[in-house]
Amino acid sequence: MNDKRRLLLHICCAPDATVPWPALMSEGYEVTGFFYGSNIHPQCEWQKRREAVIKLSSLLRVEAEIAPYSPETWFSGTEESYSEPEGGARCEVCFALQLESAARYAALRGFGYVCTTLSISPHKDPGTVNRIGEASADAARVGWVDRIWRKKDGFRMSIARSREMGLYRQNYCGCAYSAGATFTYGKR
């Protein structure tokens, strides 16, 4: 049975969680962070982001779960769309991989809701993110909390808060393609 006040917050990176995590807690949710990073390359970048999520969790005095690093799953899932431009079909596949993982975890652990930090970025379409998130949550039979975190200067606030907290802040979304790197998984 799902606890209706427990919410799993999918976290793409610690800086982007600095606004949503406290906001959801102030709304009365018992929030646990969920860092999914199989889309992040190279692994040393994933490790920096994982450590930043752990640091933020400690500063906020709340729990965070770290999904296992499995880049093979991400490369396999995005294989057909690897040549798409940034913001194209590949990003939608990536969002789905992340949000489906979070929704399954939420259902397995008895969370009543799931939400994401992805909509704080000015580089991601919040309508697409929330549509994919809602479908993922519905499939897992948990509630979806639809938010557009970049509203009301959310993105700017996340930059300021991450600086104040001394959190690592990356300069690309995380995937090999956005970094302009060449990786050799599968057929590539």
- What does the pLDDT look like over 51-97, one tens digit per residue? 999 999 999 999 999 999 999 988 888 888 777 777 778 889 999 99
Within a domain: residue 30? yes
pLDDT at 84: 78
96-110: average pLDDT: 97
Within a domain: residue 60? yes
Which residues touch 188 (CB under 8 Å, ≥6 apart)? 75, 82, 182
Within a domain: residue 184? no
* 188, 123, 117, 164 alpha-carbon torsion, rounded to 10°: 110
Cα–Cα distance, 133 to 131 (Å, whole number) = 5
Asked if pLDDT for residue 42 goes beyond 70, the answer is: yes
Question: pLDDT digits over 19-36, tens only?
Answer: 999 999 999 999 999 999
Full residue range of the structural domain in which residue 13 is found = 3-179
- pTM (predicted TM-score): 0.91
Cα–Cα distance, 10 to 105 (Å, whole number) = 10
Within a domain: residue 188? no
The answer to whether the beta carbons of residues 131 and 27 sit under 8 Å apart is no
Within a domain: residue 53? yes
**Helix axes of 89-108 and 71-78: crossing angle, nearest 10 degrees:** 130
Centre a 10 Å sphere on the Cβ of residue 78 and count the other Cβ atoms it contains: 22
Name the average pLDDT for the chain.
Answer: 91
Within a domain: residue 120? yes
Asked if pLDDT for residue 183 goes beyond 70, the answer is: no
pLDDT at 188: 33
pLDDT at 5: 92
Within a domain: residue 187? no
Domain count, the chain: 1
Within a domain: residue 104? yes
Cα–Cα distance, 34 to 101 (Å, whole number) = 10
Q: What is the CATH number of the domain that holds 25?
A: 3.40.50.620
Cα–Cα distance, 144 to 9 (Å, whole number) = 10
Cα–Cα distance, 181 to 82 (Å, whole number) = 12
pLDDT at 45: 93
87-110: average pLDDT: 93
Question: What is the CA angle 78-56-175, rounded to 5?
Answer: 15
Q: Cis ω on the peptide bond leading into residue 122 (within 30° of 0)?
A: no
